[in-house]
Amino acid sequence: MLVLEQILNGIQFGIALFLMSAGLTLIFGIMGVINLTHGSLYMVGAYAAALVAAKTGSALLALLAGLAGAAVAGIVIELVVIRRLYARDHLDQVLATFALILIINQSATMLFGRQPLFVQMPPALARSVTLLPGLVYPLYRLVVIAVGLLVALGLALLINHTRIGMLVRAGATSREMVRALGVDIRLLYTLIFGLGALLAGLAGAMAGPILAVQVGMGEQILILAFVVVVIGGVGSIRGAFYGALLAGLIDTLLRAFLPGLLRQVMAGSNADALGAGLSSMGVYLLMAIVLLVRPKGLFVKQS
Amino acid sequence: MRVNSIVGALAAVLIGATAAAAQEPLKIGMITTLSGPGGYLGQDIRDAFNLAVKMQGGKLGGVPVSVIVEDDSLKPGQGKQIADRMLKNEHIKLLTGIVFSNVAGAVVPDVLDAGGIYVSPNAGPSTFAGKDCNKNYYVISWQNDSLHETAGQSANELGYKSAFILAPNYQAGKDALAGFKRMFKGKIVGEIYTRLDQTDFSAELAQIRAAKPDMVFQFQPGGLGIAFLRQYQQANLTSEIPMVVAEPSLDGVTLKAVGDAALGLNVTAHWNTDFDNPANKEFMAAWTKEYNRPATYYASQGYDTALAIGAALKGTGGKVDDTDAFRTAMLKADFKSVRGDFKFGPNQHPVQDWYALKVEKGSDGALHLNTKRKIMSAYGDSFAHECKL
């Protein structure tokens, strides 16, 4: 039962990572922009949802506010800043988007203070359900998993069966060719950026009732999201999905079981220290191994 | 025009410099954590320290001071760079402010090696409390371990026989678990080190549920504690397994952010907002008037640190160059601490009283952290005897 519960925990963490890395991988793969502000969009989503939830008490309105807030912020950022960076090299992009992180964090501090915000869990979801005898799991986390899977399905349909999806796939393979064929690439870019921001906002809004909504929350998940993008392969939504689940499971299972396993072969305190150290490296080790074996990521055709 | 404005700016700078030279306020360097999830901790220390300076009319102990604040972002390397700049470029001799023990571990030795004085308003790692204690290192808050030894004592008094314990994997986290275990007489059924940047504790909560302990002891400061307590409640553990914690895991801000998840929590602390002494009443009134937000114990420590420095400066007439004279004046601890009785032990860490607190619902329906009883009197720490000063 413990193993099953930990697997569910891993999947739930993986879903949060997926929502973040799906946007990142699209923006990075298709537009060629390293977008460090993605974590800030996650924070914007969480803050917008938290504020609306506190004002109205409605979880649904809060979710919509989180989505809208992040999408609007994303589109504004694209129009004002990112648009000027497409032709520049990665260093300029990193500098500009890093500056945006500082600006957004400082603005949030000035507007809302450094104290974390309280977000009420929707009352209908604030309980645990018994899945199997002995396996009790918080309902809210199950809903998060379900929403994540639906989003993944929706994205798969969007990418594989619509005209926009076709352009996205074409863009990920050969940006120059799409442009040469006369597609309005600027509009496509803005849409993709908005979509990525929307997903980040969704992740942020859903994280609100679980985590502490506070300045700097985006950077904590951003680094792992980049790792997922590298593992899954740049530009691949499928890669982001499986990469995120893999990273979520590895991180959770190592954390949960490695110290116990090590304790069988060495003294308790050493096992704890080593276990904690190794498990926090786990995801990065995975990335290193993937880079060795498949340098372009798991789900991208290696040339 | 452009040249004119540059000349004007230069003149302003020069005038500023001469004005400063005439007045010569003593510079105090404050390196603290102001950004990221730990940001409100440093903010409270800074604001309370500044409040004390303001209440004394821009002076501490009759000596004009200027407090130079820098943000370490919870990065030991960044703290080191700031300390280096303050010591060498700005010739600051007196430093304070660090929240987190891992930053203190990197910065404090640099300050002491350069002949500076460090007065800690928060972090009190075991590494500097025992045989590596130092004449120019003072702690106003507590020694890390003793903070959690009191939680162990409280757990004994509450009659718990088995405990599951967890803390982040860094110096203060190790001190926390060591401190709790030193005092707790029951059995430890599980022990976990989490990451200092961890936000999701579902894996740990599952292990707690499986281990079925009498109680849980956790040390998760700042935003970590908020996430932990909320997830603990969402996993339906709040009603099943009681929790005993020391004050870093539940301060005034955490309480406001977690809501009902904190109800019934047992907390141990050396200070609380409801302490009934004149110094604390004066502090709480001034704090509420100035900032109008919950006062955390970090604020009380920042305030006490300013008072302690003020008392020492009064003794030396504002001089910090003669560290021996400063030490003589500092160790008298001639100030009224908001926590009540305060004196320095042989390792220049506090000897103070500890109290059991409980989170209860008031008649107004809001949650309050109420002081219940004293559990330890004039308690120092477990490393003082190793320190030879």
Half-sphere exposure of A103 (CA within 13 A, CB side): 11
Residue B6: pLDDT band (50, 70, 90) is low
Q: How many Å apart are CA A297 and CA B211, to the nearest integer?
A: 39
Which H or E run includes B138? Answer: strand B137-139
Residue A301: pLDDT band (50, 70, 90) is low
Q: How many Å apart are CA A237 and CA A232, to the nearest integer?
A: 8
Average pLDDT over residues B275-287: 94
Question: Is 50 exceeded by the pLDDT of residue B21?
Answer: no
If 0-12 CB within 10 Å is exposed, 13-18 middle and 19+ buried, where does residue B7 land?
exposed
Q: Please tell me which of the candidates A128, A216, A256 has its beta carbon nearest to residue B207.
A: A256
Question: In b/e form, how buried is each residue of A207-217, taking b as 16+ CB within 10 angstroms?
Answer: bbbbbbbbbbb
| A242 token code pair | 């499986």
| B339 token code pair | 């926590």
Half-sphere exposure of B9 (CA within 13 A, CB side): 6
Per-residue confidence (pLDDT) for residue A281, from 0 to 100: 85
More confident call, B257 vs B370: B370
Residue A244: pLDDT band (50, 70, 90) is very high
Give the three-class secondary structure for B61.
coil
Question: Is 70 exceeded by the pLDDT of residue B8?
Answer: no
Q: In this structure, what DSSP letter does residue B303 have? A: H
Name B187's bridge partners: B162
* Listed range (A155-164, A293-302, B217-226, B372-381) with the worst mean pLDDT: A293-302
Tell me the C-alpha to C-alpha distance, in Å, between residue A47 and each of A67, A100, A119, A206, B29.
11, 17, 9, 11, 33
DSSP string across B346-374: TTS-EEEEEEEEEEEE-TTSSEEEEEEEE
Q: How many Å apart are CA A298 and CA A292, to the nearest integer?
A: 11
Question: Is 70 exceeded by the pLDDT of residue B46?
Answer: yes
Is residue A105 less than 8 Å (CB to CB) from chain B?
yes
Name B119's bridge partners: B96, B138
Per residue in A36-74, pLDDT (tens digit) is 999 999 999 999 999 998 888 888 899 999 999 999 999
Question: Is 80 exceeded by the pLDDT of residue A276?
Answer: no
Residues of B in contact with A117 (CB under 8 A): 257
More confident call, A219 vs B181: B181
Confirm if A116 and A214 have CB atoms less than 8 A apart: yes
Residue A302: pLDDT band (50, 70, 90) is low
Cβ distance A115 to B236 less than 8 Å, yes or no, reads no
Half-sphere exposure of A16 (CA within 13 A, CB side): 27
Chain B closest CA to A256's CA: distance in Å?
A: 6
Question: Is 60 exceeded by the pLDDT of residue B2?
Answer: no
Q: Please tell me which of the candidates B43, B199, B200 has its beta carbon nearest to residue A114.
A: B43
Cβ distance B169 to A256 less than 8 Å, yes or no, reads no
Is residue A297 less than 8 Å (CB to CB) from chain B?
no
Per residue in A166-215, pLDDT (tens digit) is 887 787 777 778 778 887 777 888 888 899 999 999 999 998 888 878 88
Confirm if B169 and B197 have CB atoms less than 8 A apart: no
Name B164's bridge partners: B190, B216
Question: Is 80 exceeded by the pLDDT of residue B262?
Answer: yes
Cβ distance B35 to A140 less than 8 Å, yes or no, reads no
Question: Is 70 exceeded by the pLDDT of residue A237?
Answer: yes
> How many Cβ atoms are within 10 Å of B249's Cβ, its own excluded?
27
For residue B221, report the phi and psi dihedrals to the nearest 5 degrees.
-75, 155
| A289 token code pair | 């191994």
Chain B closest CA to A177's CA: distance in Å?
A: 43
Q: How many Å apart are CA B129 and CA B159, to the nearest integer?
A: 30
Question: Is 60 exceeded by the pLDDT of residue B22?
Answer: no
Per-residue confidence (pLDDT) for residue A303, from 0 to 100: 57
Mean pLDDT of chain B: 88
Per residue in B94-112, pLDDT (tens digit) is 999 999 999 999 999 999 9
Q: Please tell me which of the candidates A1, A140, A211 has its beta carbon nearest to residue B199.
A: A211
Per-residue confidence (pLDDT) for residue B227, from 0 to 100: 86
Tell me: ipTM over 0.85.
no
Is residue A209 less than 8 Å (CB to CB) from chain B?
yes
Cβ distance A210 to B37 less than 8 Å, yes or no, reads no
Cβ distance B235 to A138 less than 8 Å, yes or no, reads yes
Per residue in B321-335, pLDDT (tens digit) is 899 999 999 999 999
Which of A99, A108, A62, A56 minimizes the C-alpha distance to A81? A99
* Listed range (A299-303, B41-45, B169-173, B317-321) with the worst mean pLDDT: A299-303
Alpha helices in B268-355 (DSSP H): 278-291, 297-316, 323-331
The percent of residues in chain B predicted with pLDDT above 70, rounded, is: 94
| B14 token code pair | 């020069």
Tokens 């960076």 appear where?
A85
Average pLDDT over residues A117-138: 80
